[in-house]
Amino acid sequence: MSSLPFDDGYFDAVISAQVIHHNELDRIRKTVSEIRRVLRGGGFVWVTLPVSKNEPSSERVEIEPGTYLPLDGFEKGVPHHYFKMDEIPPLFSGFSVIDLHVDGFNHFSFLAKAPPK
């Protein structure tokens, strides 16, 4: 996710449903940087991100604030960062937020427009 094999400005839109949160925050920032790079100026991004306090109830360990590593189950060993609403716009700084809300599955739905290049 943090190194995409596409040219700069390659896409008109990027869609990420329940993907980029599967990392530690520094790698999530790198992923967002790659999304910004591969989007054309004025392109759109739509991502879903799990809401903080929606953490799995199985055994897990917090490896950094808001990021948990499940110790069992089918996602054992896969980091999960759980977001607070105020974390999302700064993560996508420079983007124009079109919509940010919590959906029916207790995940943030974030739609934004990339800045001109």
Domain containing 24 — which CATH number?
Answer: 3.40.50.150
* 15-71 tens-digit pLDDT: 999 999 999 999 999 999 999 999 999 999 999 999 986 565 668 889 999 999 989
Element (H, E) at 31: helix 25-38
**Strand blocks (E) in 8-83:** 11-17, 39-50, 60-64, 67-70, 80-81
Residue 11 tokens, joined: 């896409």
Residue range(s) defining the domain that contains residue 82: 11-113
Query: For position 55, what pLDDT does the model report?
Result: 61
Q: Is residue 4 part of a domain?
A: no
Q: How many domains does the chain have?
A: 1
- Residue 79 near residue 69 (C-beta atoms within 8 A): yes
Confirm whether 22 is domain-assigned: yes
Does 2 fall in a domain?
A: no
- Residue 95: predicted pLDDT: 97
